[in-house]
Chains A and B, each alone.
Chain A
Amino acid sequence: MDIKIPDSWLRDYLKTSANSAKIAECLSLSGPSVEKIEKKGKDAIYSIEVTTNRVDSVGVFGIAREAAAILPRFGISASLSSVKTKSRQEFAKEVDYLETKVDHKLCPRFTAILIRDIKIGPSPVFIQERLKAIGSRPINNVVDISNYLMYELGQPLHTFDYNKIRGAKMILRESKRGEKLTTLDGKTHILPGGDIVIEDGDGRLIDLAGIMGGKNSEVDENTKNVLLFVQNYNPVNIRRDVMTLAKRTDAATLFEKGLDPELVEVTMRRGIDLFVQICKGKPESKILDLYPNPYSSKTVRLTEKFVEDRLGVPIAKNDISKILDSLGLKTQWNGEDLSVSIPSWRARDINLPEDILEEVARLYGYHNMPSKIMNGEIPEPLENSPFEFEIKVKRTLQGWGGTEVYTSSLVSKEQVASDWSLKLKNPLGSDSEYLRLSLAPSLIDAASKNKREEDPMHLFEMSKVYLPIRGNLPEEKMMLAGVFANQSFEDTKGVIEALLESLGIEATFAQEDSRWFLPHHRLVVKSGKLELGQFGVLKKEGLIYYEFGVEDVRSVSKPLTTYIPTPKYPSQVEDISLVLKSRTLLGEIIKSMETADQQISSVRLVDTFEDTKTLRVTYQSLSKTLTDKEVEKIRKKVLDRMKKKFGARLKN
């Protein structure tokens, strides 16, 4: 929660010689974080982030209480002034001006007082100034008093026009589904049920308790008598209201965190004071106070050793006491054992010895603690860790000119193109409604964003796709995919071949059509029977696309290939030009040539002219230097095979 506190207001409760910059620095190091200080005239305004567990610090007094404990740790004297009140009304379980029926599960403490004959008008300048300084608009004295006290003490208040509460009766209860209520801002809500509401003697709903008052009981310019109302609500109900009605007010934000029921008392007295002083109101002599289960202090126990073990530094017993006492926590040592009794305003956030530890640690100062790297055993490495392999693949592609992209896992309906996919319940927009099943649409998108590129382009990504499994989390499959543009089929296929080769994979490419690719333009890449991925030319914009299952590729990758002795005898190399019949697959030709004789070690395409392909054949024997005659015999074997199988003939 981000709050604003004027320095001048803070000093109503904090007596210290420290300037605002010093206060901000010390608070940040040991308490709530001061995000910035703005100068406003002679005053300075702190912007402070209070964590959700410390609703007791939300407000001027709460911050002063923290500062008064923290500043002395930095050698700066500081003290807290208590909230002074003049009102001496009696807290009573019954009053004659209001009949009530309260569900205490919803409202652990209910207080109210009737104040008569108030004069409505603008509030005094200093109240208006302070409200403006923290970004709240002054309205009139009645409204301003409520807001002022809420920002000062962190306890919301509400005022009803007493004369609009029919029958001078209030029933505080859970709402029923479908009940209607119009709030102060003029909005009508159809309640989902389970909200905290107040019904008057005529059965009208007059308050959406803890969130906003009802329009029908609003204080207006003709109001004479007000009912000042200070409550403590069950945070769970308020939280649910906020979520289901999507209505968030400052009061609700406080109530949903769970407030201190003891805070009600001082707020009520201070409220009465201000109504007397500013609105010239005449309060009744009794305050209605329904508080069936008053706070009784709880105790948390820990030991000196616990503090030392968890912090890693010893802190003297009396220093621990001093720190805790300064925060209003009462300490009692019994040898090594410490019991800490928790004041009402910290009852919600302090439950465990670890919570006490945090209080000691932050006031002792993290900046005063040493830094150490843990000794102890180093954990076992992760079995079958994929990370080295993944970066190797990325670096290999990068080395050959690939540029890595990261695209969003969240895609549109068109981009998943399947009903068997995961859809978000609360997407940001229709372009990011689904978890993707393939990287292809994102990469095609990426390529088209770079259409102006004229140079060879290769974009790739390694990311997960999310394949649904009924009744379980999806399979998160790591994929490698890429697109090429402005490059030939051969050049790009070469990149894929080289990648697989450098990973020690013997892969085969088989032509198989599928709907996204141009006919005849798709190859399925396999290692043995395992399908690793695919490569080919897409129908869309003629982009060349490939994708692989990274884990499949990794499973057949051999990081160390076995050693093959280098041949001792020279090889013979010659170029053979073959004239092929049209529609002959060159891949088949080469495969067939290579397997025609054991002494052919490689066949490589070196030139193409129409149907004539020039192939560079390497003859190699492991046991001797081949003679011309022997080479001739092998060549004949190859050429015969070419003729028989493919009808290919030697050129001239």
Chain B
Amino acid sequence: MENRIQNLKNQALAQIIDADIEELEGLRTNYLGRRGELNKILREIQDLPAKKRPIIGQIVNDAKKAIERAIDEKHGKLQEGTGKTKWFDPTVPGNKPQIGHLHLVTQAVEEISKTFEKIGFVRVRYPEVEWDWFAFESLNMPKDHPARDEWETFFVGTPPHSKYGQMVLTPHTSSGQIREMTRVKNPPIRMLNIAKTYRRQSDVAHIPMFHQFEGLVVDKEISVVHLKGTLDYFARSFFGPKRKIRLRPFHFQFTEPSFEFDISCDICQGRGCKLCKAGWLELGGAGMVHPQVLKNGGIDPKHYTGFAFGAGLERSFMMKSGLKIDDVRTLYSSDLRFLRQF
């Protein structure tokens, strides 16, 4: 049977070479048509032993393809001769529309929002120019508290508010915590606050204006395992299923207990390398909302508990993508040669 197919194919190819345009269509029906020669053979396959069937089937299909291509090519040549089609160069470069780019920060904001929206977080926006009360005092950091040194804060030169103190540029998204508690009043709260933040610093690793994202959850029976679960979920969905989170004890005035959270390093898979601290990269701060902070937000700490976490957006996004931008200031340089890469 193999021979028969081979012969049939050779015969067809020979006929195609000499065919004119009408004959070509005849040959197509003859060999490839539903009742054509090759389909005839396919029908006979059933009589063959089961083992042989796929082999013959394959040979028939190869023959079909070869004949089909020969007919198409011949067709093209005949047409060209008649002047119906001209020579055409399809390798000419295309006229691309201008390709636009969303900034890395926007891309990060979108991804982080989506990740948390899936577990019921509500994205909000609060002032970037804030009163000291919301940025510090209500978060358990009275004036002159040494803990404030960590936040190198910009102050606005307007007269202070009689109740809320000085006007500042928010040094962290945590200033949205009290705002959110006051807005919602009755928990549940699952807040996601992504905003510009400002600190008095400028070097390759720091910029005076950057972004943070902050989560706040307040409800009945919220405990440390929920904080851990939420951060774990974030690590897996944002950074990838293999990444892990660890909590380390830390101190913030507005949470108790407090933590820093790290993500496992993807470069060394947690074994420890030059870029990380023994397999871990520091991501942000977190903790259980301090009862005084709940009180300051008008929420009764006897009935409700909560947790909060915050991290740098640019840093998180760079850790996700593996982008090594050696000078973070590049992000805000408006240089098209940089922006077009994303």
Interface positions of A (Cβ within 8 A of B): 24-25, 28-33, 35-36, 51-54, 235-236, 239-240, 243, 256-257, 309-313, 352, 354-355, 357-358, 361-362, 366-367, 369-374, 376-382, 385-387, 391, 394-395, 397-410, 422-428, 432, 435, 445-446, 449-450, 453, 455-459, 463-464, 466, 468, 471, 473-474, 476
Contact = CB atoms under 8 A, between A and B. Distances in A.
10 shortest interchain CB distances as A-B pairs: A401-B98, A312-B223, A312-B225, A51-B251, A358-B257, A398-B100, A446-B334, A371-B229, A378-B120, A366-B247
A219 B146 CA distance: 31
B270 interface: no
B226 A29 contact: no
Given A311-B224, A404-B102, A354 B144 contact: no
Contact of A377 (B188, B225, B260): B188
A380 B221 CA distance: 19
A330 B123 CA distance: 45
Nearest to A354: B256
A380 B161 CA distance: 32
A367 B262 CA distance: 12
Given A358-B249, A435-B156, A449-B335, A366 B228 contact: yes
A379 B228 contact: no
A394 B260 CA distance: 34
A134 to B, nearest CB: 20
Given A28-B248, A239-B146, A422 B332 contact: no
A53 B287 CA distance: 15
Interface string B94-111: 000111111101100010
14 contacts: A52-B251, A239-B144, A311-B225, A354-B291, A369-B224, A371-B229, A398-B101, A400-B98, A400-B100, A425-B155, A449-B333, A456-B98, A464-B128, A473-B129
Interface in B71-104: 97-103
B334 A426 contact: no
A326 to B, nearest CB: 15
B296 interface: no
B257 A450 contact: no
Contact of A379 (B105, B147, B184, B196): B184
A644 B106 CA distance: 53
Given A371-B229, A471-B159, A471-B161, 4 more contacts: A33-B260, A382-B123, A409-B209, A449-B333
Contacts of B340: 403
Interface in B202-232: 202, 208-209, 217, 219-226, 228-230, 232
Interface in B290-342: 290-291, 305, 331-336, 339-340
Contacts of A395: 102
A428 B157 contact: no
B225 A459 contact: no
B33 interface: no
Contacts of A466: 128-129
B158 A422 contact: yes
A428 B336 CA distance: 26
For chain B, give the interface size range.
35 or more
B100 A357 contact: no
Given A371-B228, A423-B157, A473-B129, A404 B144 contact: no
A554 B278 CA distance: 49
Contacts of A387: 113, 123, 125
Nearest to B150: A52
Contact of A386 (B125, B130, B189, B196): B125
B313 to A, nearest CB: 11
A438 B339 CA distance: 22
A38 to B, nearest CB: 13
Nearest to B225: A312
Nearest to A470: B158
A379 B120 contact: yes
Given A312-B225, A394-B102, A473-B127, A406 B331 contact: yes
A161 to B, nearest CB: 32
Contact of B230 (A243, A374, A432): A374
Contacts of B119: 373
B334 A455 contact: no
A400 B97 CA distance: 8
Nearest to A450: B336
Contact of A36 (B277, B291, B336): B277
A404 B228 contact: no
Contacts of B136: none
A457 B334 CA distance: 12
B224 A52 contact: no
Interface in B269-284: 277-278
Contacts of A379: 120, 122, 184, 188-190
Interface string B119-146: 1101111011111000000000000101
Interface string B247-270: 111110000111110000000000
Nearest to A459: B334
Which one of B110, B149, B184, B291 has the highest number of Cβ atoms from chain A below 10 Å of its Cβ? B149
Contact of A449 (B158, B278, B334): B334
A422 B222 CA distance: 41
Nearest to A445: B334
B112 to A, nearest CB: 12
Given A379-B120, A382-B124, A311 B223 contact: yes
B233 interface: yes
B200 interface: yes
A428 B199 CA distance: 10
Contacts of A358: 249, 256-258
B12 interface: no
Nearest to B196: A409
